[in-house]
Amino acid sequence: MLLGVISLVLVFLSNNFFTNFFIAAYSSILGNSLIDRLGHRELLTGRGYIPVRTPLTHTYARSVLWGLLPTVPLAFLIHYIYGYYGLMEVLFSGIIVGPTHMFLDMFTEAGVYVKKNGKWRRFALAHFRYDNPLANGLAILLGVLMLFAAMELHAYHYSNFYYHYYNYYF
């Protein structure tokens, strides 16, 4: 779903779908990996080890930073190749990764952390398990639909721009 969300947002910033898709894939994979690696620890209970989230990465404000951090090397490369507009795409994708990850985590059992009365409390909208096939299938379907919408918007803007541009001058 993250790849679809980021691609859909980036298609409004530029008309190069394949560059947007690469940026979205890069920031989604690295941002989510970093958030999950740093934000999960295992706790020993009577039933064995269970994964537990920490407020280090699983809050909305901090997730923006952790999502933006892996895109910094790509930002330098894209800025060198494409200039300012490419840089904006990378920064937008890095900013979107963390909050989208937190939005999806709100539908799991563990939820995300919010600060209430000076203490970190977990907040969840729904309590689906990580391996729930219905919830995961719905998220995948929404992601594919958003990716398809991004492709169609790109084709629409691309064909209208060049069609009107060449009809105007010829």
Domain segments of the chain as ranges: 2-146
Q: Give the mean model confidence (pLDDT) for residues 27-41.
A: 90
Which DSSP letter does residue 125 get? S
pLDDT of residue 49: 81
Task: List, for residues 70-100, the tens digit of each pLDDT value.
Answer: 999 999 998 888 877 788 889 999 999 999 9
Q: Which is it for strands 119-123 and 112-116: parallel, antiparallel or unpaired?
A: antiparallel
